[in-house]
């Protein structure tokens, strides 16, 4: 099972930002200083979903909630909806988009009960994670282990750290520098699926690997 990081949409009052990234992405271009001419474009996320961006100037508002919706602020107190397109964004903002750092992504690896052995559906994900890491020139990797609520808390703390360390060891085999990797264990404290004590829940027996 593979799951990307959850993403949240935002409603953002705006002024002087040259580039604003949401998830989905909101892009702002500042064109002039003496006469304000700010252009705001809402871009869809990698998953195709689009959030919302509110552009506000002295009480005037324009909400952008569809892909490539745009608004321009020419003067204080003036917000006008304008048309934009994917082609125009690439033409006007291509170099700026390419220069932005890649957004963080998270992977979930799941484990067999009471072990640091990968569940079958997770065994193939290590190579996917490596491919994501390889696309980044200076990756930072955080590995956090978790357990379900079966067993004593102290035991689960140790088990969750073992799981995180197992994932680190797999990445080290792929020649990821150890200095780029941090590991931690949270035990049963942060379940993906809340349960009563001593309930075996496969989705809580996991490691989250965040790459940025």
- How far apart are alpha carbons 141 and 168 in whole angstroms? 9
Judge contact between 181 and 143, C-beta under 8 A: yes
Whether 164 shows a pLDDT value over 70: the answer reads: yes
DSSP per position, 119-150? PGGGTTHHHHHHHHHHTSSS--EEEEE---SS
Whether 198 shows a pLDDT value over 80: the answer reads: yes
| Same-domain pairing of 109 and 204 | yes
Q: How far is CA 193 from the centre of its chain?
A: 20
| Same-domain pairing of 136 and 186 | yes
Residue 148 in any domain: the answer is yes
| Same-domain pairing of 121 and 51 | no
| Same-domain pairing of 131 and 187 | yes
100, 131, 147 - which closes a domain: 100
pLDDT per residue as tens digits for the range 171-191: 888 888 899 999 999 999 999
Of 65-74, 99-108, 110-119, 144-153, the one with minimum mean pLDDT is 99-108
| Same-domain pairing of 56 and 124 | no
First to last CA, the chain: 21
Match 């799981």 to its residue by tokens.
Answer: 163
Q: If you average pLDDT over residues 51-70, what whole number do you get?
A: 84
Domain tally, the chain: 2
Residue 18 in any domain: the answer is no
- How far apart are alpha carbons 79 and 76 in whole angstroms? 8
pTM equals: 0.58
pLDDT per residue as tens digits for the range 101-122: 677 888 999 999 999 999 988 8
Would the CA dihedral through 150, 166, 7, 17 be positive or negative?
A: positive
């Amino acid at each position: 099972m593979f799951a990307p990081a959850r993403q949240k949409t935002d409603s953002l009052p705006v002024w002087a930002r040259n580039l604003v990234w949401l998830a989905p992405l909101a892009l702002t271009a500042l064109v002039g200083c003496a006469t304000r001419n700010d252009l705001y474009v809402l871009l869809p996320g990698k998953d195709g979903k689009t959030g919302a961006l509110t552009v506000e100037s002295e009480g005037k508002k324009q909400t952008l909630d569809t892909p490539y919706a745009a608004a321009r602020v020419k003067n204080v107190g003036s917000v006008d909806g304008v048309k934009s397109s994917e082609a125009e964004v690439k033409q006007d903002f291509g170099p700026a988009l390419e220069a932005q750092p890649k957004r963080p992504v998270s992977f979930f690896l799941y484990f067999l009960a009471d072990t640091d052995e990968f569940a079958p559906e997770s065994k193939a994900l290590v190579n996917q994670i490596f491919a994501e890491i390889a696309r980044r020139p200076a990756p930072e990797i955080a590995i956090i282990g978790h357990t379900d609520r079966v067993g004593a808390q102290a035991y689960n703390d140790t088990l969750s750290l073992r799981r995180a360390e197992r994932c680190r060891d797999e990445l080290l085999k792929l020649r990821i520098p150890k200095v780029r990797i941090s590991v931690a264990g949270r035990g049963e404290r942060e379940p993906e699926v809340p349960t009563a004590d001593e309930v075996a829940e496969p989705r809580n027996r996991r490691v989250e690997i965040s790459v940025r």
